[in-house]
Amino acid sequence: MKEIYLDNNATTKVDEAVFEEMRPYFCELYGNPSSMHFFGGQVQKKVDEARRRVADLLNAAPEEIIFTACGTESDNTAIRSALELFPHKRHIITTRIEHPAVLTLCRNLSRRGYRVTELNVDGEGRLNLDELEAAVDDDTAIVSIMYANNETGVLFPVEEAGAIAKAKGAIFHTDAVQAVGKVPLDVTSSTIDMLSLSGHKLHAPKGIGALYLRKGVPFRPFLAGGHQERGRRAGTEATANIIALGKACELAANLMDDTNRRVKAMRDRLERELLTLIPNSRINGGEAERLPNTLSIAFEHVEGEAILLLLSEKGICASSGSACTSGSLEPSHVLRAMGVPFTCAHGTIRFSFSRFNTEQDVETVIRELPPIINRLREISPFGRELLAHP
Ligand code: PLP
């Protein structure tokens, strides 16, 4: 069965052009870029090119890019760096709807004596900057606020948040794992000190990420070891992955406008038609500014996991909220923070598009999903009630 892959916020297909770019760096050009000989040197050149390509996507300087193993490592590095640099500061600010890569670390730190403020969001998943303004103080080491939410696609006012953080002398970090390659980013005249990104969300392989570190911002490495990455991230470079990330960023930059236009049109069509065809459905974060590729839609009185299984039987891949929280039947922390009613949070499905999706994919979902919801409502007492009195 050919898959209809609408789970691109979980991970993306490696672009064939990206794969071709990295392929020679396994069996042929396998040198260590730190080696003195020509064989390492030619790999170093490609790593330099990749760093420039990643930097270009953000409008950063190449030396502001540090390669890491994943978005999670970038997030952990940023937060731990700030805490090590300012040991007298014991306060961290983040939000209730961060990815576990930030939230779990912050909650662990709060058990170790740090004061952690988790900012609230409104019913549409939006941040209230007044709450941030009130929370930040001279004791705040770092403010870490995501750029775009992985479950709803809702965008945060990162620039404004950064200005508030910096006015109080705090480091400002943003987890932009879901935003990089999907929305234009320009760090030159920005308030962002550090920014995390991850290759597998933009058609590079899993196992490669990067941390943007603004020139002049103090930094402490997370890993102790060799002098790679100018002493900022020890460990022999994952050369093939780095080269792949560079190519993926170059493609993202070149294709962004066209991709966004197509992807948004498909997302909007799916959203419109599902809302029309399926009564008692609603969009999570629908009133907020969102990523163009993400649709989080709730079907009242249906179990999200049951929907996913039946969609999967038809070859359709989606997600019930974050891939990292599925597997547990707890409603997602994001939807809970937004105050989405239990009956809707449980029946939420996330569809997330990429440039590889087609109108045909949208048509298949529009054809297959309404009967699935109907069937599931028929077998639940509340669902039958809804069908009788929509
Ligand atoms: N941050 C966000 C917003 C994410 O969506 C993810 C992955 O889903 C991560 C961080 C973690 O990235 P990685 O899987 O590369 O560790």
Considering the domain architecture, whether residues 379 and 231 belong to the same structural domain is answered as no
Residue 341 tokens read as 């009613």
Considering the domain architecture, whether residues 100 and 212 belong to the same structural domain is answered as yes
Are the beta carbons of 197 and 210 closer than 8 angstroms?
A: yes
Q: Which domain holds residue 104?
A: 16-252
Q: Is the CB of 199 under 6 A from ligand 1?
A: no
Considering the domain architecture, whether residues 264 and 351 belong to the same structural domain is answered as yes
Q: Is the CB of 209 under 6 A from ligand 1?
A: yes
Q: Collect contacts of 374-382 with beta carbons under 8 A, ≥24 apart.
A: 375/310, 376/302, 376/303, 376/306, 376/307, 376/310, 377/301, 377/302, 380/301, 380/302, 380/303, 382/301, 382/343
Considering the domain architecture, whether residues 198 and 304 belong to the same structural domain is answered as no
The 10s digit of each residue's pLDDT in 75-94 is 999 999 999 999 999 999 99
pLDDT for residue 339 is more than 60: yes
Domain closes at, from 187, 217, 252: 252
Q: What sign results for the dihedral spanned by CA atoms 277, 281, 284, 288?
A: positive
Q: Ligand 1 atom closest to Cα of 98?
A: 3
Ligand 1 center to 98 CA (angstroms): 10
Considering the domain architecture, whether residues 140 and 52 belong to the same structural domain is answered as yes
pLDDT for residue 231 is more than 80: yes
pLDDT for residue 214 is more than 90: yes
pLDDT for residue 110 is more than 90: yes
Q: Is the CB of 68 under 6 A from ligand 1?
A: no
Ligand 1 center to 12 CA (angstroms): 12
Q: Is the CB of 70 under 6 A from ligand 1?
A: yes
Nearest to 149 by CA among 184, 110, 101: 101
Q: Which of the four pLDDT bands, split at 50, 70 and 90, describes residue 382?
A: confident
pLDDT for residue 212 is more than 90: yes
Considering the domain architecture, whether residues 90 and 206 belong to the same structural domain is answered as yes
Residue 309 CB contacts under 8 Å (≥ 6 apart), including other chains: none
What pLDDT sits at residue 321? Answer: 56
- Per-residue pLDDT averaged across 187-196, rounded? 96
**CATH label of the domain that carries residue 191:** 3.40.640.10
Considering the domain architecture, whether residues 208 and 70 belong to the same structural domain is answered as yes
Are the beta carbons of 106 and 100 closer than 8 angstroms?
A: no
Considering the domain architecture, whether residues 188 and 317 belong to the same structural domain is answered as no
Ligand 1 center to 279 CA (angstroms): 33
What pLDDT sits at residue 381? Answer: 77
Residue 164 CB contacts under 8 Å (≥ 6 apart), including other chains: 129, 132, 133, 136, 143
pLDDT for residue 389 is more than 90: no
Give the residue, out of 67, 72, 102, 241, with the most ligand 1 atoms within 8 A of its beta carbon, to mutate for a pocket test. Answer: 72
Judge whether 344 counts as a catalytic residue: no
Residue that wins the pLDDT comparison between 189 and 106: 106
Quick check: helix, strand or coil at residue 62? helix
Residue that wins the pLDDT comparison between 322 and 168: 168
**CATH label of the domain that carries residue 295:** 3.90.1150.10
How many structural domains does the chain have?
2
Domain closes at, from 252, 284, 313: 252
Ligand 1 center to 388 CA (angstroms): 41
Q: Ligand 1 atom closest to Cα of 209?
A: 15
Quick check: helix, strand or coil at residue 1? coil
Q: Is the CB of 153 under 6 A from ligand 1?
A: no
Q: Is the CB of 149 under 6 A from ligand 1?
A: no
Which residue in the list 106, 249, 317, 324 is annotated as catalytic? 324
Considering the domain architecture, whether residues 169 and 231 belong to the same structural domain is answered as yes
Q: Ligand 1 atom closest to Cα of 74?
A: 16
Give the residue, out of 12, 178, 208, 350, with the most ligand 1 atoms within 8 A of its beta carbon, to mutate for a pocket test. Answer: 178
Considering the domain architecture, whether residues 227 and 371 belong to the same structural domain is answered as no
Considering the domain architecture, whether residues 234 and 101 belong to the same structural domain is answered as yes
Give the residue, out of 7, 105, 198, with the most ligand 1 atoms within 8 A of its beta carbon, to mutate for a pocket test. Answer: 198
**Residue with CA closest to ligand 1 atom 10:** 71
What pLDDT sits at residue 327? Answer: 54
Q: Is the CB of 58 under 6 A from ligand 1?
A: no
Considering the domain architecture, whether residues 204 and 262 belong to the same structural domain is answered as no
The 10s digit of each residue's pLDDT in 252-311 is 999 999 999 999 999 999 999 999 999 999 999 999 999 999 999 999 999 999 999 999
The 10s digit of each residue's pLDDT in 241-260 is 999 999 999 999 999 999 99
Domain closes at, from 222, 252, 282: 252
What pLDDT sits at residue 386? Answer: 77
What pLDDT sits at residue 132? Answer: 98
**Residue with CA closest to ligand 1 atom 13:** 71
